Amino acid sequence: MADRRLNVAVVGAGPAGIYASDILSKSDLDVSIDLFERLPAPYGLVRYGVAPDHPRIKAIINALYNVLQRGDIRLHGNVDIGTDVTLDELRAYYDAVIIATGANADAPLDIPGADLPECYGAADFVSWYDGHPDYPRTWPLGAKEVAVIGVGNVALDISRMLAKHPDDLMPTDIPANVEAGLRESPITDVHIFGRRGPAQVKFTPMELRELGMVHDVDVIVYPEDFEYDDGSQAAIEDSKMTKQVVDQLTNWVFQEPEDLKASRRIHIHMLQQPVAILGTDHVEGVRMERTALQGDGSVRGTGEFIDYPVQAVYRAIGYASLPLAGAPFDHIRHIIPNSGGRVMDNGETVTGLYATGWVKRGPVGLIGSTKSDAQETIANLLEDAAADRLHATGPGTGAEGMFALLDERGVRYTSWHGWELLEAYEKSLGAPQGRERIKVVERDTMTAVSRDEEHDGKLY
């Protein structure tokens, strides 16, 4: 192993970047780690990609906080790699660079009508209600009836956020502009659609159970959407989680109609696939085709079509990573091509460049998968370090040279101490209302608070 201290930069301060940094910091390698984040705040999709009423956010953030507050991993926020500094410049100062930029774009829905103005991506909507500073401050919430395409936890999150009464969100950190927008919403019905059967949906049992506990919101499941084949039965027998999901859906099928008295409803439809979004200038409905299971859990279209009147459509069919300028990118799979986390370019290893998390493997899996990803990537980085293959392409002075460059360019970067200042500020905003915090949306305010500068107090 190299007998010198290595300088390593990690791009992205979400779970993937923080876990990779943590694992690397606990290795035997003599290493200096700088964690770069383009937003003034850390935590990535945990802060900006999960519904604010999600019960496990706090536990995940606490775990990530415990890593960063140690001080051996230096956080630098409000630095956009690709804009404020190029990836090539980063590689000139650091012996290795780990890309952990996640997946925050929506996978496309390629059907007629998908370009109508009321067709939205789940990732964009989530970014709005989570107060992402780079998204508009308002969201068009004029629809009474909404379709959500997809049967994963993101579909549940956005359906719950659309249907939930704003008063029931007040214990969370939703920004003031999001509260105001949701209070104006006339919504009564959310329709969730999945193309396969109850044994193939991707909801987790806890998320599904929590959906049924939302105040003044009924969850409705239809008997005609329940069908099993041999593949479905095998899935139920092989997975306790699948059985729990099917059992919960079954409980909703057998609800008594007289018990459904809520002012808002979430309908879960299965064995239906979208074929068109209806309307000329605006969304007026969605056309679904009934599907049939084929024995192995897959489905085929039956030629039977059902039209549902809706005024907005949200696609929650998956996230996609975006390219990072200067890094290879697979535009088909929406990942950085890699072998075990080592970045590849036209089949050749790019020495000193690594990927981890969703930008490495695609947007699948939960926190456990992210940790496994990080372990694999760091194991290969350590192997390369042991073989003395890691060398900066330029001065190699790490933070010293990088921050001289950022200062020269007038980049208002933030620090871990700055995040603690911002967190305290958000908590001070929430305290008068008995809330844990109110999230600040406006980037200049976030940055100024983090840098202990004068600001106008604008929150969104």
Residues 384 and 277 occupy one common structural domain: no
Residues 355 and 283 occupy one common structural domain: no
3-state secondary structure the chain: CCCCCEEEEEECCCHHHHHHHHHHHCCCCCEEEEEECCCCCCCCHHHHCCCCCCCCHHHHHHHHHHHHCCCCEEEEECCCECCCECHHHHHHHCCEEEECCCCCEECCCCCCCCCCCCEEEHHHHHHHHCCCCCCCCCCCCCCCEEEEECCCHHHHHHHHHHHCCHHHHCCCCCCHHHHHHHHCCCCCEEEEECCCCCCCCCCCHHHHHHHCCCCCEEEEECHHHCCCCHHHHHHHHHCHHHHHHHHHHHHHHCCCHHHCCCCEEEEEECCEEEEEEECCCCCCEEEEEEEEECCCCCEEEEEEEEEECCCEEEECCCEECCCCCCCCCECCCCECCEECCEEEECCEEEEEEEECCHHHHCCCCCHHHHHHHHHHHHHHHHHHHHCCCCCCCCCCCCHHHHHHHHHHCCCCCEEHHHHHHHHHHHHHHHHHHCCCCCCCCCHHHHHHHHCCCCCCCCCC
Nearest to residue 161, comparing CAs of 171, 172, 169, 152? 169
Residues 138 and 255 occupy one common structural domain: yes
Residues 68 and 34 occupy one common structural domain: yes
pLDDT score of 1 more than 70: no
Residue 126 lies in a domain: yes
**Confidence at 54, pLDDT banded by 50, 70, 90:** confident
Residue 425 lies in a domain: no
Residues 167 and 283 occupy one common structural domain: yes
Structural domain boundaries, residue 61: 6-103+321-411
Residues 403 and 315 occupy one common structural domain: no
Instruction: Give the pLDDT score at 111.
Output: 98
Residues 97 and 182 occupy one common structural domain: no
Residues 175 and 254 occupy one common structural domain: yes
Residue 421 lies in a domain: no
Residue 449 lies in a domain: no
- Rounded distance, CA 444 to CA 111, Å? 39
Residue with tokens 């069919």, as numbered in its chain: 317
Residue 304 lies in a domain: yes
Residues 179 and 278 occupy one common structural domain: yes
Count how many domains the chain has.
2
Residues 276 and 191 occupy one common structural domain: yes
CATH of the domain at 240: 3.50.50.60
Residue 1 lies in a domain: no
Residue 58 lies in a domain: yes
Residue 116 lies in a domain: yes
pLDDT score of 2 more than 60: no
Residues 110 and 18 occupy one common structural domain: no
Q: Which of 319, 334, 369 is the last residue of a domain?
A: 319
The tens digit of pLDDT for each residue in 316-328 reads 999 999 999 999 9
Average pLDDT (178-207) is: 96
The tens digit of pLDDT for each residue in 409-459 reads 999 999 999 999 999 999 999 999 999 999 999 999 999 999 999 999 999
Q: Which of 319, 352, 376 is the last residue of a domain?
A: 319
Residues 53 and 142 occupy one common structural domain: no
Instruction: Give the pLDDT score at 57.
Output: 76
**Confidence at 4, pLDDT banded by 50, 70, 90:** confident
Average pLDDT (390-404) is: 96
Q: What pTM value is reported for the model?
A: 0.93
Share of the chain above pLDDT 70, in %: 99
Q: Which of 288, 304, 319 is the last residue of a domain?
A: 319
Token pair, residue 238, equals: 């092989």
**Confidence at 129, pLDDT banded by 50, 70, 90:** very high
Instruction: Give the pLDDT score at 364.
Output: 82
CATH of the domain at 330: 3.40.50.720
Please give the C-alpha separations between residue 133 and each of 11, 129, 130, 440, 458, in angstroms, as whole numbers. 19, 11, 9, 8, 12
